[in-house]
Chains A and B, each alone.
Chain A
Amino acid sequence: MPTNGTHAVMTFNPTPRQLSVIKVLIFLLALIPFVRLAYGAFTDGLGANPLEFITWNTGEWTLYFLTMTLAVTPLRRLTKWNWLVRLRRMLGLFAFFYVLLHFTAFFWFDHFFDVQEMLKDVAKRPFILVGFTAFVLLIPLAVTSTNGMVKRLGAKRWQWLHRLIYLIVPLGLLHFWWMRAGKHNFTEPLIFLVIVGVLLLVRAVWAMQKRAKEARQVRSPA
């Protein structure tokens, strides 16, 4: 979308060099939760139940990064900062990084790498099944995140596949909600629900507007 002069004040268009700096900065920031966990694990700084802390914390950061990934497109439309889309892959891959840690924590601490036990647990408990499904669905998105894969799949098919995110995020949220349900502790799940709800709703509104516009154009051909 080309920007016109009236938006000049809002427009910030980083040079390739600036964009690289931004990317490196975000990369380092996104690693802080991991470094904190690793440091805490070695220095006994994660409280009385470090295993539980690691499991919960990596789960929370997965949701944060998924939400940030979902926020890119609406933010880009509002600010006209088209370059924001260049950050999306990294945010999505960090979501995958943290969910991989989250799953590993579950597999390691709760089941001590016993595949059968783990799968039994997944099948038996809807709350875990939902989270596990979201994790599995995220794998193809991570695998096809490279430029080469976009080319190989073709932009249309790639986009189709990556729309899975609209299923993955609600599943992740449901998993979190369910976890808190037994303790009636809904403050954080509610905050997530509102933010993710808004991010999905604006997309729906935009899609409807687009369709309405197209319909008008069909009715009154130039």
Chain B
Amino acid sequence: QKLTAKANSSYVVLDKQTPYQDATTYNNFYEFGTDKSSPARNAGAMKTRPWTVSIEGEVKKPMTLDIDALLKLAPLEERIYRLRCVEGWSMVIPWIGYSLSELIKKVEPTSNAKYVQFVTVEDKQTMNGLRYPVLDWPYTEGLRIDEANHPLTLLTLGMYGEVLPNQNGAPVRIIVPWKYGFKSAKSIVKIRFVKEQPATAWNLAAPKEYGFYSNVNPQVDHPRWSQASERRIGEDGFFTKKRPTLMFNGYSQVASLYSGMDLRKYF
């Protein structure tokens, strides 16, 4: 299903785009199985309409929006972002959406809103992976309020000129391009503004391996592998070396969010 959006020329990269086929068949979406190919096989059963997102917590105007309302909330833009997975691979994807800050403006957070939590869908009918205690379901993620308000943070409704395929987090997800991919929660049903740093799924599962911040950082290794380099899906093959990973995945404009912070401690 087509989704039209105006390309935002401030957010393009020179890298080659990842083929649609690769971006839609190589996914981590554990609710549909832990193999990379499982989501493409199993996510078709998920119903993405009707779908509502409730926005609650420390806001003056809590609201529940359906997908049509979200599509109309702000002009849709196409932005081409690098996506770096914590596992050491990366893609380049043209997303469609608008800055999350557009939505945040509408609900008017109170001064108590220090963090934003994203709660994703937990549908036992269609999600086989929920039967296994791989993670503490539902999958949750979170950002600090200034991270959530950063213009790069994209409330995402489509990719490659279409609405999001189910395996990529339909109908609405978040994209935080300077953080490892798991921070970009899929199929969101609830956005909560909270006072304290919220629990996040991977941090609960393995706190030594996945921190709350999880900024892309070539200098801070994962305990079981190096994060200094990455393999670009669809491009880096048998005869090319892995490419170096860039600090903040190349989005150096976010560095000021972390000035004075020890990024080894807050990994």
A residues adjacent to B (C-beta < 8 A): 41, 47-52, 108-110, 112, 121, 124-125, 127-128, 178-179, 181-185, 187
Contacts and interface: CB of A to CB of B under 8 A. Distances in A.
Contacts of A108: 238
A49 B224 contact: no
A184 B135 contact: yes
Contact of B25 (A48, A50, A124): A48
Given A49-B26, A51-B237, A127-B224, 14 more contacts: A47-B25, A47-B36, A47-B37, A48-B26, A49-B231, A49-B233, A50-B237, A109-B238, A110-B242, A112-B241, A121-B226, A181-B206, A183-B34, A184-B133
B146 interface: no
A184 B134 contact: yes
B217 to A, nearest CB: 17
B89 interface: yes
A120 to B, nearest CB: 9
Chain B interface category by residue count: 20 to 34
A130 to B, nearest CB: 11
Given A47-B26, A48-B22, A183-B134, A178 B224 contact: yes
A183 B225 CA distance: 14
Given A125-B224, A178-B224, A184-B134, A49 B36 contact: yes
Nearest to A117: B226
B233 A48 contact: yes
B196 interface: no
Contacts of B135: 184
Contacts of B266: none
A184 B37 contact: no
B220 to A, nearest CB: 13
A112 B209 contact: no
B133 to A, nearest CB: 7
11 contacts: A48-B21, A48-B22, A48-B26, A52-B89, A124-B221, A125-B225, A178-B224, A182-B223, A182-B224, A184-B206, A185-B34
Nearest to A180: B34
Contacts of B233: 48-49
B221 to A, nearest CB: 8
Contacts of A52: 89, 231
A83 to B, nearest CB: 39
B245 to A, nearest CB: 14
Interface in B178-223: 205-206, 209, 221-223
B175 to A, nearest CB: 19
B234 interface: yes
Given A48-B25, A51-B231, A125-B224, A182 B237 contact: no
A123 to B, nearest CB: 12
A183 B37 CA distance: 16
Nearest to A185: B34
> Which of A41, A49, A185, A187 has the most C-beta atoms of chain B within 10 angstroms of its own C-beta?
A49
B11 interface: no
B36 A185 contact: no
A108 B132 CA distance: 34
Contacts of B222: 182
Interface string B12-34: 00000000011001100000001
B36 A48 contact: yes
B255 to A, nearest CB: 27
The 5 A-B pairs of least Cβ separation, nearest first, read A48-B26, A48-B22, A112-B241, A184-B134, A127-B224
A154 B209 CA distance: 49
B63 to A, nearest CB: 35
Contacts of B37: 47
Contacts of A109: 231, 238
Contacts of A50: 237
Given A110-B242, A184-B133, A184-B135, A179 B224 contact: yes
Interface string B218-254: 0001111110000101100110011000000000000
